[in-house]
Amino acid sequence: MTDLTIRRATADDLPAIVAMLADDPLGATRESPDDPAPYRAAYERIAADPHQHLVVAERSGRVVGTLQLTLVPGLSRRGATRAVIEAVRIHADERGAGLGTDLIEWAVATSRRLGADLVQLTSDATRTDAHRFYERLGFTASHLGFKLAL
Amino acid sequence: MTDLTIRRATADDLPAIVAMLADDPLGATRESPDDPAPYRAAYERIAADPHQHLVVAERSGRVVGTLQLTLVPGLSRRGATRAVIEAVRIHADERGAGLGTDLIEWAVATSRRLGADLVQLTSDATRTDAHRFYERLGFTASHLGFKLAL
């Protein structure tokens, strides 16, 4: 498909991003799209941190995808900088049409351009379609991801 | 055991940290402790980023453990800030003696103090002892961790 732009998200994109976060089997129980305040506060934290790259994919003036890329410097692996992908979402109208591939390929190319040595992400164990998708794009499921809610 | 301090790492701690990174079944093939240059450059990147917390555990004047904590603001989960733990290492002399628990408990308490809503980490699938350790500390292995070397 044509006419795709991947660009830095602005505060005006928040309603579209939050709608995509909520339109998801896991997100449906975690998000509150009718209460924008916590998302606005989080957006300000993201915008203030130069190591965060929150982007949207826009097609024909409409936001149809999003992800967040974080650059994390570190000592291990000979001082490797990691690029961490979080919060990948594709609008329901675009699923299965290749936009996920476009977004992840953008993230990998941007990570390389920014000097990262490694790209990493975690995916909920229940998202088996996503696991096959990341493996097709060259990722290896070498780790377990642990979480603790505070 | 007594006399334990967990404090921010300085450039003077780099040799001890890199030695611990290399003294590990996976690190042995990934690290180059005889070549300090990439670690010094990475330390400068970490020190310049206020969202990085690289710490060492010191006992009786000797560095015996390390980890890195990164605060990542985000939109998902109602604007949750994530604290990400990386590069946990315990000196061989201290393994099995509770220092890992002390370090992770410090990281969880610090994450809470800094306003994080979630603590997360990934652990190589081969580190089965580490998986039991994190589960004992309340973490859930809910995710798969994918990596792509650039």
Quickly state the pLDDT bin for B139 (edges 50, 70, 90).
Answer: very high
pLDDT digits (tens, 9 = 90+) for B100-116: 999 999 999 999 999 99
Quickly state the pLDDT bin for B97 (edges 50, 70, 90).
Answer: confident
pLDDT digits (tens, 9 = 90+) for A92-121: 999 888 999 999 999 999 999 999 999 999
pLDDT of A2 strictly over 80: no
Q: What is the model's pLDDT at position B1?
A: 55
Mutate: best of A146, A147, A150, partner B, most B CBs <10 A: A146
Contact B72 A70 (CB under 8 A): yes
Q: Exposed (0-12), middle (13-18) or buried (19+): which is B3, by Cβ within 10 Å?
A: exposed
Distance from CA of A63 to the nearest CA of B (A): 16
Q: What is the model's pLDDT at position A1?
A: 55
Question: Residues B25-52: what's their mean pLDDT?
Answer: 94
DSSP H or E run through B79: helix B76-79
Residue A146 identity: F
CA distance A143 to A76: 16
Contact B68 A79 (CB under 8 A): no
Distance from CA of B121 to the nearest CA of A (A): 5
Distance from CA of A133 to the nearest CA of B (A): 11
Q: Which CATH number fits domain A4-136: 3.40.630.30, 2.60.120.620, 3.30.420.10, 3.10.180.10?
A: 3.40.630.30
Place of tokens 């998302």: A39
Average pLDDT, chain B: 95
Q: What is the model's pLDDT at position B142?
A: 97
Share of chain B above pLDDT 70, in %: 99
Q: Strand pairing of A52-59 and A62-72?
A: antiparallel
Contact A76 B21 (CB under 8 A): yes
Distance from CA of A95 to the nearest CA of B (A): 19
Neighbouring CB atoms inside 10 A of B133's CB total 17
DSSP H or E run through A64: strand A62-72
From chain A, the residues in CB contact with B69 under 8 A are none
Question: Residues A35-42: what's their mean pLDDT?
Answer: 96
Structure-block tokens of residue A109? 């190319």
Q: What is the model's pLDDT at position B95?
A: 86
Contact B75 A54 (CB under 8 A): yes
CA distance A44 to B11: 32
pLDDT of B86 strictly over 90: yes
pLDDT digits (tens, 9 = 90+) for A44-86: 999 999 999 999 999 999 999 999 999 999 999 999 999 999 9
Per-residue b/e over A117-137, b at no fewer than 16 CB within 10 Å? bbbbbbbeeebeebbebbeeb
| All residues at 6 or more sequence positions from A145 whose CB lies less than 8 Å from its CB, including other chains | A122, A123, B120, B121, B122, B141, B142, B143, B144, B145
CA–chain centroid gap for A19, Å, is 14
Question: Residues B40-63: what's their mean pLDDT?
Answer: 97
ipTM: 0.94
pLDDT of B65 strictly over 80: yes
